[in-house]
Structure 1
Amino acid sequence: MSHRFGELWTVQLGDREEVRLIVTGDFYHTLYGDNVLTAFVVEADMAHALTAFVVDLGAGRAAMVDRISTVAASRLKDKVGDLPETQLAAVRGMLATIFGLTG
């Protein structure tokens, strides 16, 4: 299954599915190629209340870039969207700030 930085995927977690933003790639990766780092997607109001590292996804949803978890690539089910090019730079900047990375 092919996935890349900035894509939105549904992730199967037990008996439920969640939408997550893929953040693996440009800045950070695990030692295992079958793992993917994803940012949690929640209601936009909740995301803005919880953190400053938020990317609005439209339709009342937002990704919390500092709320990241590792999921097995086999749990990625369906690609449901892509971040616009203008937002990719913002996410990269947030990740750089969070992880202390420099370009």
Structure 2
Amino acid sequence: MSHRFGELWSVQLGDREETRLIVSGDFYHTLYGDNVLTAHVEAADMGTTLTAFAVDVGDGKVAMIDRISSVYTGRMKGKVGDLPDARLADVRSMLVTIFGIG
């Protein structure tokens, strides 16, 4: 399965599907195999209330960059969009600020 930094994917989590923003398109080593780092996507009003580190992903939603988790790639169902290049710089800047990674 191919995915890249800045893509929005539908992810199956239990009995529900969520949209997640890929913040690390590279696989990284864990005990559980192929995982990818993702940011949670919420309605814009909720996301901006919960954190200052939110990026507009369109359709009235934001990605909460401080709420990053890993997702097993087998749970990723399909790409649902891409962030514009201007927004990718915002995401990278927030990652550096919060986690010290780029």
- TM-score w.r.t. the length of structure 2 is 0.91
Are the equivalent residues in 1 in contact too, given 2:8–2:20 (CA < 8 A)? yes
Question: 1:1-103 alignment to 2 at 5 Å?
Answer: 1-25=1-25, 30-32=28-30, 34-101=34-101
> How many residues in Structure 1 have an aligned counterpart in Structure 2?
100
State the shift of 1:25 in Å.
4.2
Are the equivalent residues in 1 in contact too, given 2:3–2:25 (CA < 8 A)? no
Q: Which 4+ stretches in 1 moved above 4 angstroms?
A: none
1:47-101 CA-to-partner distances (Å, cap 9, x unmatched) read 1101110001121111000101111011110100000000000100000111123
State the shift of 1:42 in Å.
0.4
**2: distance between equivalents of 1:13 and 1:25?**
19
**2: distance between equivalents of 1:58 and 1:35?**
25
**1: distance between equivalents of 2:6 and 2:61?**
15
Sequence identity of aligned pairs in percent?
Answer: 68
Gaps of 5+ in 1: none
Gaps of 5+ in 2: none
The amino acid across from 1:40 in the alignment is H
State the shift of 1:30 in Å.
3.2
The amino acid across from 1:87 in the alignment is R
- Pick which of 30-39 and 89-98 moved more: 30-39
- TM-score w.r.t. the length of structure 1 is 0.90
**2: distance between equivalents of 1:54 and 1:79?**
20
**1: distance between equivalents of 2:72 and 2:100?**
25
